[in-house]
Structure 1
């Protein structure tokens, strides 16, 4: 059951990413005019993806997981190192803020300074969704609530000098923790964790913003669609067809929905089409080993 949930989360995230990658940067109307409705992997889009190919959302999620596997007790430095390895692979899609922060790290800047320097260079609020899109593995391996929150915040601060971005990562992974460690159903966990926060209205009301790369916009739509949907496919297809930052919204929502449903309830044909399926399977197994060791310690 535990492996089924871990795989459900990682594959659920990646399927959403690959599905939404086609419609990223398009408006909802443009998606409708070009595709009618996106329901399976089409590839293409700005990044000229192959069907089943994922984007930076999955790449950074797997990099973060590898950092955890390297040092489960205190993984933040190892996570940063894995991010730099990914940067060195010259990915075709990488957010500007993440690129700046990781470049500072690569050139020897301290981990606590890189995001601040990137913020100084780029300006703006720093409230991007790039740290939220990758943070899910923390709630899959860690069995201590306070540690889930602390690592979620720390990994966000590697690239995003924003308390708002950190807050979203913490809330997201605490929902994951509730599902994983307490067996609380997704909608109940969302209601408990989100009530009283800036996102509370999204539990029952359509967000009055587009699902852009702003983390508040992204997470608002993720929460709303998760609360309104009755199946994993409904979640990721709804967000993929919204366009805008569709790969990220579908990945973030798909991760929690897949965690709740379990791998066996995901569309198996889509899981098999993922180009990174073997890597995801290996990482899921390694996270299970770490979690099992913690539970039996």
Structure 2
């Protein structure tokens, strides 16, 4: 049984982390400290020059997925791709390179199943495994928390729309099963998630994430946009913190890809601690709060078709 409070915490935590990190994206931890001390408040301006509480593509694309799941009543890859394309046509102020390229391929007539692969095959190692699919994948964890096999499939196929690399696809699987475990109240969600993919997922991904529970030197954690780095750092911050707020602020103050570090950490920590633990001062100004709460409740309480019969 999925906790509705934890489901709301997942989506609201994602958005809060995204919005907290947005104004300091690309800044070093030193510069963040110089400007804000420890950044704990949503501030305006900064990177992208937007008002306090504004979210980025991390939350926008998660909303596309959540709305598709609720309105279609199933995972529909083409519908998700259509929503990504409509969002892209609106001219978002922030969009990842691989996401933009894959959406452009889709708009040019390439199938949603193949667009991400086309982009991935053209990119050199080092620029082909970004964190652009793990940042948005959490709605699947809520919808299919009680159906692990389907969660495996939708996690990989949804990632592959824009991020085909196996590290990205299996990164979504690990993340979603960890979140789903917290939604169900499991004891060791990350351990179970790793065991689920061990032997299938890329060794680098598995071995890096396997270090998280026993990591003693966090100075080695990275703040880059590489999917393996983001997943390890966000899992560490979410699993070692005493509160969701502490998890999110720790991740964002690491600098670098702050909006996505905050979003991924927030999704995990929100599932772990629940929506009621998120600070009111964040929730009062974060963009799309009402939509996120309604979608989270719908995903947690409505039966989403897992038959794949409606996939296009």
2:158 to 128, 143, 155: 155
How far did residue 240 of structure 1 move? 1.0
Equivalent pair of 2:19/2:259 in contact (CA under 8 Å): yes
Structure 1 155/129 Cα, relative in aligned 2: closer, same or farther at 3 Å? Answer: same
Structure 1 85/289 Cα, relative in aligned 2: closer, same or farther at 3 Å? Answer: farther
Equivalent pair of 1:16/1:240 in contact (CA under 8 Å): yes
How far did residue 289 of structure 1 move? 4.2
1:266 equivalenced with 2:268 (yes/no): no
Corresponding residue for residue 49 of structure 1 = 50
TM-score by length of 2: 0.87
Per mean C-alpha deviation after superposition, the further-off stretch among 146-155 and 27-36 is 27-36
Residues in 1 aligned to 2:48 and 2:182: alpha-carbon distance in whole angstroms? 33
1:235 to 239, 247, 262: 247
Equivalent pair of 1:104/1:114 in contact (CA under 8 Å): yes
Corresponding residue for residue 132 of structure 2 = 130
1:170 to 155, 166, 173: 173
Q: Deviation string for 1:218-237 (max 9, x for gaps)?
A: 01101221232111111000
Corresponding residue for residue 118 of structure 1 = 119
How far did residue 202 of structure 1 move? 2.4
Residues in 1 aligned to 2:32 and 2:64: alpha-carbon distance in whole angstroms? 30
Equivalent pair of 2:113/2:157 in contact (CA under 8 Å): no
Per mean C-alpha deviation after superposition, the further-off stretch among 148-157 and 218-227 is 218-227
Equivalent pair of 2:131/2:227 in contact (CA under 8 Å): yes
Equivalent pair of 1:202/1:224 in contact (CA under 8 Å): yes
Structure 1 191/207 Cα, relative in aligned 2: closer, same or farther at 3 Å? Answer: farther
1:276 equivalenced with 2:288 (yes/no): yes
Equivalent pair of 1:43/1:52 in contact (CA under 8 Å): yes
Corresponding residue for residue 72 of structure 2 = 71
Runs of 5+ unmatched residues, structure 2 = 199-205, 307-312
| 2:284 aligned counterpart, secondary structure | helix
Q: How many residues align?
A: 291
Structure 1 75/292 Cα, relative in aligned 2: closer, same or farther at 3 Å? Answer: closer
Residues in 2 aligned to 1:264 and 1:54: alpha-carbon distance in whole angstroms? 20
Equivalent pair of 1:68/1:78 in contact (CA under 8 Å): no
TM-score by length of 1: 0.92
1:202 to 194, 197, 212: 212
